[in-house]
């Protein structure tokens, strides 16, 4: 097949397969979204089938986000060096294969290992999407492409828990929870066939040097941070958990020093050190971690509370997440269309306050309820209001953090923000999951849920404080996707 030059290559002839490039890129993103949330409703089924304890369940859910976040920036660099087509195909094939391995896992240890592998494959796959779109679209078409992305990915976030609940409860062919991974196989194989046909054969730049030592330091630091948070509660917080947390801080420090040394000797760093010297950007990283830790962790705890505490089926628990997803979509639409441009960063302060109002409403709605009297209708108002506040923040957060960096740094900065978002979600699963299960062991499910809500409220309060240090105005949408020498790490989806 002849690969005519894309519009961004200086010619007027558009690449004829460009809309199929968009389709396979969207499919890859949706597969990631589904796998990030579809497993949430499978907790009791995993416990019954594989004997998964609380920490095992947290690793199955949070481990995927951990390796995904830790590898995103490296994945972008590999696309620079070896070509985005090659890395996209390799990542998609590995992701699909890892999904099959997850479905075949004979025990919880194997499932955790395969989920970590699946996240690593996603980290190789996802960063190539933005680069492929920028190479094959330009001008009004590119604007249209990014306009398509938001609603489609938002729908993917809504579908995940619902589809997961349908598959687990349906127990088709006796597969149970395994079907939530098998659903990736036909989609992945079809996408792989289309991608092999339509993706342009543009070579990478073999002059790009991949900072494997930096990538290893990041992965080690993240693992040392999440491991004790997942295992500490179950094992009584022994000495090794505190040593791991301290070692994680050291590893992150060594990574920063390593990046500066790479620049000093003329090598291309994994992350531009200049970014970390910008106070507003580094503060923004903390804000993103806090916000997504609370959001993702609370979404998991809500699902667990419905299934374990209120004995909902997997299907009903999946539907119980709909008010949150719909509220998030509404909040995002309002923020993106009206508020962010008119009131600036205040939208990042109003959003968490709306979330806190939702938390308070949910808290009061749960008073006096028992398993016999509980209904999903009782929590819809609080969950929906909380979702509206979350959507207000999600729609605007990245643009305000990116406004703190220079134009030539936006690509590298977007990759870092995306990685922090994923790792923050993994931390939220570990922390809020541990808080919930600490009370579940005493048989008090409602207290576990409420303790998790308290943690989320604390995280939101800290996030509001951080927002006062961010730029007053966000970076325009078009500039967030600007192509620079470091765009290969491009921003991943911000819809949850």
- State which residues form the domain around 272: 7-196+209-489
pLDDT per residue over 338-353, tens digit each?
Answer: 777 788 889 999 999 9
Is residue 480 assigned to a domain? yes
User: Given this model, what pLDDT does residue 6 score?
Assistant: 45
Torsion of CA 304, 458, 326, 23, to 10 degrees: -90
Question: Does residue 342 form part of some domain?
Answer: yes
Residue 496 within a domain: no
Query: What's the whole-number mean pLDDT along residues 229-247?
Result: 89
Residue 8: pLDDT band by 50, 70, 90 thresholds? very low
- pLDDT at 12 exceeding the cut of 80: no
339/495: higher pLDDT: 339
Backbone dihedral angles phi then psi of residue 459, each to the nearest 5 degrees: -65, -40
pTM as predicted? 0.84
Residue 488 has pLDDT above 90, yes or no: no
pLDDT of residue 494: 39
pLDDT score, position 89: 94
pLDDT of residue 244: 94
Q: Tell me, yes or no, whether 1 lies in a domain.
A: no
Q: Residues 411-457: pLDDT tens digits?
A: 778 788 888 988 999 999 999 999 998 888 888 888 899 999 999 99
**pLDDT interval class at 487 (50, 70, 90):** very low
pLDDT of 5: 46
pLDDT given for residue 316 in this prediction: 84
53 or 106: which leads in pLDDT: 106
Question: Which among 136-145, 229-238, 379-388, 470-479 has the top mean pLDDT?
Answer: 379-388
- How far does CA 241 lie from the centroid of its chain? 25
Number of domains in the chain: 1
Rg (CA), the chain: 22
pLDDT of residue 334: 83
Classify residue 202: in a domain, yes or no: no
Residue 277 lies in a domain: yes
pLDDT at 209 over 90: no
Query: What percentage of the chain carries pLDDT values higher than 70?
Result: 89
pLDDT value of position 130: 76
Q: Is the pLDDT of residue 484 over 70?
A: no
Q: Which of 40-54, 253-267, 285-299, 339-353 reaches the highest mean pLDDT?
A: 285-299
Q: What is the pLDDT of residue 476?
A: 62
Reference 439, options 300, 314, 309; nearest CA is 309
CATH code for position 456:
1.20.1250.20
Does 485 score more than 50 pLDDT? no
Q: What is the pLDDT of residues 113-136, one digit of tens each?
A: 999 999 999 999 988 887 788 778
Instruction: Determine, yes or no, domain membership for 204.
Output: no
Specify the higher pLDDT residue, 136 or 23. 23
Residue 103 has pLDDT above 90, yes or no: yes
Please report which confidence band the pLDDT of residue 474 belongs to, taking 50, 70 and 90 as the band edges: low
Residue 291 lies in a domain: yes
């Amino acid at each position: 097949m002849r690969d005519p030059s894309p519009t961004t290559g200086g010619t007027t002839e558009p690449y004829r397969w460009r809309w199929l490039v968009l389709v396979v890129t969207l499919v890859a993103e949706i597969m990631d979204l589904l796998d990030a949330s579809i497993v949430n409703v499978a907790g009791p089924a995993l416990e019954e089938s594989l004997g998964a304890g609380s920490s095992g369940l947290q690793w199955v859910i949070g481990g995927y986000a951990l390796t995904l976040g830790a590898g995103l920036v490296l994945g972008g660099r590999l696309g620079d060096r070896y070509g985005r087509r090659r890395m996209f195909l390799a990542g998609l094939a590995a992701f699909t294969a890892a999904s099959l391995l997850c479905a075949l896992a004979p025990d919880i240890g194997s499932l955790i290992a395969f989920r970590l592998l699946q996240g690593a494959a996603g980290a190789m796959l996802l960063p190539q999407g933005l680069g492929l779109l920028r190479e094959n679209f330009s001008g009004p078409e590119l604007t249209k492409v990014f306009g398509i992305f938001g609603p489609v990915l938002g729908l993917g976030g809504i579908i995940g828990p619902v589809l997961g609940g349908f598959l687990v409860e349906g127990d088709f062919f006796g597969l149970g929870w395994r079907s939530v991974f098998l659903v990736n196989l036909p989609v992945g194989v079809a996408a792989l066939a289309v991608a092999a046909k339509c993706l342009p054969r543009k070579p990478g730049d073999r002059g790009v040097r991949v900072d494997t030592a930096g990538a290893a330091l990041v992965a080690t630091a993240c693992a040392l941070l999440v491991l004790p948070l997942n295992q500490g509660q179950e094992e009584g917080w022994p000495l090794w958990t505190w040593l791991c947390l301290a070692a994680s801080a050291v590893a992150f420090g060594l990574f920063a020093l390593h990046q500066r040394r790479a620049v000093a000797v003329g090598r291309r760093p994994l992350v531009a050190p200049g970014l970390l010297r910008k106070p507003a950007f580094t503060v923004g990283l903390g804000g993103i971690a806090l916000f997504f830790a609370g959001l993702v962790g609370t979404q998991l705890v809500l699902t667990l509370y419905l299934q374990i505490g209120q004995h909902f089926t997997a299907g009903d628990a999946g539907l119980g997440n709909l008010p949150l997803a719909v509220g998030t979509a509404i909040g995002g639409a309002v923020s993106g269309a009206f508020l962010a441009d008119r009131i600036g960063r205040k939208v990042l302060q109003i959003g968490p306050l709306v979330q806190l109002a939702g938390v308070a409403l949910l808290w009061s709605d749960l008073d006096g309820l028992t398993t016999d009297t509980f209904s999903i209708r009782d929590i819809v108002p609080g969950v929906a209001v909380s979702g509206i506040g979350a959507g207000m923040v999600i729609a605007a957060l990245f643009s305000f953090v990116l406004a703190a960096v220079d134009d030539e740094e936006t690509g590298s900065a977007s990759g870092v923000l995306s990685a922090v978002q994923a790792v923050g979600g993994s931390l939220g699963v570990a922390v809020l999951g541990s808080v919930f299960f600490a009370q579940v062991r005493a048989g008090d499910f409602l207290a576990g849920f409420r303790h998790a809500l308290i943690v989320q409220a604390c995280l939101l309060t800290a996030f509001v404080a951080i927002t006062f240090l961010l730029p007053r105005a966000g970076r325009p949408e078009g500039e967030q996707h600007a192509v620079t020498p470091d765009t290969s790490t491009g921003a991943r989806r911000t819809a949850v």
